Amino acid sequence: MGLEEARDQVDMAFTRSDPRGMSFENTFGGATSFLRRRYSKDLAGVDLAILGVPFDMAVTNRPGTRLGPRAIREASALQAFDPPYGWDFNPLQEFTIIDSGDLAFDYGRIAEFPEVLERHVSGMLAQGAGVLSLGGDHSISLPLLRAHAARHGPLALLQFDAHTDTWEDDDPGRIDHGTMFYKAVREGLIDTARSVQVGIRTTNPDTRGLTVLDAPWVHEHGPRATVARIREVLGRGPVYLSFDIDALDPAFAPGTGTPVWGGLSSAQAAAMLRGLKGIEMVGGDVVEVSPPFDATGATAIAGAHVAVELMCLYCDARRAKGDDA
């Protein structure tokens, strides 16, 4: 398989007959599903579904993340040829992974959006598929957590971010990408004793009981020690992993709404995500990729790489439980 197949393969997002296996389609052409997986709304037998959530109406600064899912899919075509680097198995061969397209919602009814997303993902989880969401702004994590917690119980939150997103907000009608984890804590969706925030570098004195490994701590101690501390806090049990692309320094991910200097490097992020192999990840998201501010496409590329690592972590967890058939 390889270059010869690339001469004939095109639009594998629609023409793929087997949901498992590699894709050798030209990176510069064809329909851009995530990693050239087949587009489908049918979740029968699916291990993991990629869901685009093009919502950015809860931002505090620059918009544009509604275009994030499309950009991440396009960037992922660069990785579709090869098995994921640094892993001892190939989820694209061993698991049925599909791209389920984007969430449908009425952009004029913003207040209804969280319920629409929660209901949609709850239905996907009920069919036995895992869900990896591509945002969109970070507010989407609250309805995603609600759906996952309803199925798995209170979750350990592993959050990579420049901001804690736990600012106080007791208004149930507000949708804000800086307060959703405060609400998640108040709703009991998160087991705070088992939750970790990594890469933080903005001030918020009240940690709400979550462990914070800020960016200076990561820089001082390095990825290996950070992973060890994360594992110590997470312990055993279901984990929801949320990766805000602004966890990365603007040098690596400028195309985001609220960039903050002094962040993680892409190499640090890769080492930490791969080092977390073995955690019981039950769901996750990659958020805040804003293509209008991503002049070179570097941020979308980073987002696609993060999504691939989350895919591997999720499939590794299913593999450990024997759910790879």
pLDDT at 8 (0 to 100): 81
Greater confidence (304 vs 2) lies with: 304
CATH architecture classification, 3-318: 3-Layer(aba) Sandwich (3.40)
- Are residues 135 and 287 in contact, defined by beta-carbon separation less than 8 angstroms? yes
% pLDDT > 70, the chain: 97
**Predicted confidence (pLDDT) per residue in 275-312, tens digit:** 999 999 999 999 999 999 999 999 999 999 999 999 99
pLDDT at 69 (0 to 100): 98
Nearest to 227 by CA among 284, 165, 269: 269
**Predicted confidence (pLDDT) per residue in 223-275, tens digit:** 999 999 999 999 999 999 999 999 999 999 999 999 999 999 999 999 999 99
> 239: Cβ–Cβ under 8 A, 6 or more apart, which residues?
155, 156, 157, 158, 279, 280, 281, 282
Q: What is the DSSP string of 81-113?
A: TSPPTT-SS-HHHHS-EEEEEE----TT-GGGH
Band of pLDDT at residue 5, cut at 50, 70 and 90: low
Residue 292 parent element (H or E):
none
pLDDT at 322 (0 to 100): 84
- Are residues 153 and 280 in contact, defined by beta-carbon separation less than 8 angstroms? no
Nearest to 158 by CA among 118, 218, 213, 97: 213
- Alpha-carbon dihedral sign for residues 255, 176, 34, 151: positive
Give the residue extent of every domain in the chain. Answer: 3-318
82, exposed or middle or buried, with CB in 10 Å at 0-12, 13-18, 19+?
A: exposed
Query: Token digits for 256?
Result: 């985001």
Whole-structure pTM value: 0.96
**pLDDT at residue 212 is higher than 50:** yes
Which DSSP state fits 43?
Answer: -
